[in-house]
Amino acid sequence: MESFQTTEDNWDAKLYDIKHSFVSKYGNSLVELLNPQQGEKILDLGCGTGDLANKLYESGVEIVGVDKSQNMVEQATRKYSQIQFKVQDATNLDYNNEFDAVFSNATLHWVQPAIQALHAIYKSLKQGGRFVAEFGGKGNVQTITDEIILQIKEAGFEFNKKQFPWFYPSIAEYSTLMEEAGFRVTFAQHFDRPTPLDGVNGLKNWIEMFGNHLFDGIPDHTRDEIVTNVENNLKGILYKDGNWIADYKRIRVIGVK
Ligand code: BEZ
């Protein structure tokens, strides 16, 4: 999940579960890469509403889920009261040499500075422990974000790079940071994962859920016009057979302490 957004908690955890549950569904294959072993102690970093933490729990590991969003942690706790969930910031984890693995799905593109999070992850792991993560990589959803930024400018507003809330590194860039934090990088992959966004309003819903910061300082009615323009201009490229297909690009990494 991806709730290391800002200092303020603007995640709607219930809406997230209703409209964006695909995020944890895609995470199932990352669990295979993690290859959890019974009895291992694993940290789910950016646990969101807890679905993957629960999958890990059911596979027999001792799991702790952390997320920066209190709303997400409360929803996760409501759904899976048998699991310990906590509010924690990825750049400032409160653990030392505790985990056999740190697992993170669809979160780390929200986290900056990345190196600070990598130091915190490294510190949380036992010697020999592994860090297994997937998140947005270089070029992720760029067709969508380029068009939003273009339409913001066309509407007469400035777009400051600081409003772009994501970090989408190449595997070269991220592996270098991992090595700087002390990891031995044993696996790194960058791949396209075209992602269907449900129904005719899929793109609008996605922008509403995840892209709010791009519109900071823009009045609601202008924002709505911009989103409509984005939909119109991208329809020929990203809309197929009744679904929007977002141009997700992922990176996957494994690092060993
Ligand atoms: C992602 O998982 O790549 C992502 C999700 C929401 C906003 C930006 C990126």
Alpha carbon of 38 to ligand 1 centroid (Å): 31
Query: Does position 4 have pLDDT exceeding 70, yes or no?
Result: no
Alpha carbon of 249 to ligand 1 centroid (Å): 9
What's the rounded mean pLDDT across residues 162-173?
Answer: 96
Q: What is the mean pLDDT of the chain?
A: 93
In which band, very low, low, confident or very high, does the pLDDT at 26 lie, cut at 50, 70 and 90? confident
Kindly state whether residue 49 falls inside one of the protein's structural domains: yes
Alpha carbon of 106 to ligand 1 centroid (Å): 7
Kindly state whether residue 76 falls inside one of the protein's structural domains: yes
Lowest mean pLDDT among 14-23, 70-79, 87-96, 122-131: 14-23
How much is the pLDDT for 19? 65
How much is the pLDDT for 21? 66
Query: Does position 1 have pLDDT exceeding 60, yes or no?
Result: no
Kindly state whether residue 63 falls inside one of the protein's structural domains: yes
List, in sequence order, the alpha helices (H) in the chain: 13-19, 22-34, 51-58, 70-79, 114-124, 142-154, 171-181, 202-210, 220-238
Kindly state whether residue 40 falls inside one of the protein's structural domains: yes
Alpha carbon of 211 to ligand 1 centroid (Å): 9
Q: What is the pLDDT of residues 188-231, one digit of tens each?
A: 999 999 999 988 999 999 999 899 899 999 999 999 999 999 99
Report helix angle 51-58 to 22-34, nearest 10: 40
Kindly state whether residue 159 falls inside one of the protein's structural domains: no
What is the distance between the alpha carbons of residues 131 and 64, in angstroms, rounded to a whole number? 15
Query: Does position 2 have pLDDT exceeding 60, yes or no?
Result: no
Kindly state whether residue 242 falls inside one of the protein's structural domains: no
Kindly state whether residue 186 falls inside one of the protein's structural domains: yes
Q: Is 136 in the pocket of ligand 1 (CB under 6 A)?
A: yes
Alpha carbon of 237 to ligand 1 centroid (Å): 19
What's the rounded mean pLDDT across residues 118-129?
Answer: 98
Residue type, 242: G
How much is the pLDDT for 220? 95
Q: Is 49 in the pocket of ligand 1 (CB under 6 A)?
A: no
In which band, very low, low, confident or very high, does the pLDDT at 5 lie, cut at 50, 70 and 90? very low
How much is the pLDDT for 13? 76
More confident: 9 or 190: 190
In which band, very low, low, confident or very high, does the pLDDT at 25 lie, cut at 50, 70 and 90? confident
Kindly state whether residue 223 falls inside one of the protein's structural domains: no
What is the distance between the alpha carbons of residues 147 and 145, in angstroms, rounded to a whole number? 5
Domain span holding position 44 = 13-140+166-197+249-256
Measuring from atom 8 of ligand 1, which residue has the nearest CA? 210
Overall number of domains in the chain: 1
Q: Is 4 in the pocket of ligand 1 (CB under 6 A)?
A: no
Asked if residue 155 lies in contact with residue 218, where contact means CB atoms within 8 angstroms, the answer is yes
Q: Which residues contact 74 (CB under 8 A, 6 or more apart)?
A: 13
C-alpha distances (whole Å) from 103 to each of 27, 200, 212, 222 are: 10, 33, 27, 39
How much is the pLDDT for 18? 67
Q: Is 2 in the pocket of ligand 1 (CB under 6 A)?
A: yes
Task: CATH number of the domain at 119, please.
Answer: 3.40.50.150
Backbone angles phi, psi at 250, to 5 degrees: -110, 150
Q: Is 207 in the pocket of ligand 1 (CB under 6 A)?
A: no
Q: Is 124 in the pocket of ligand 1 (CB under 6 A)?
A: no
How much is the pLDDT for 7? 47
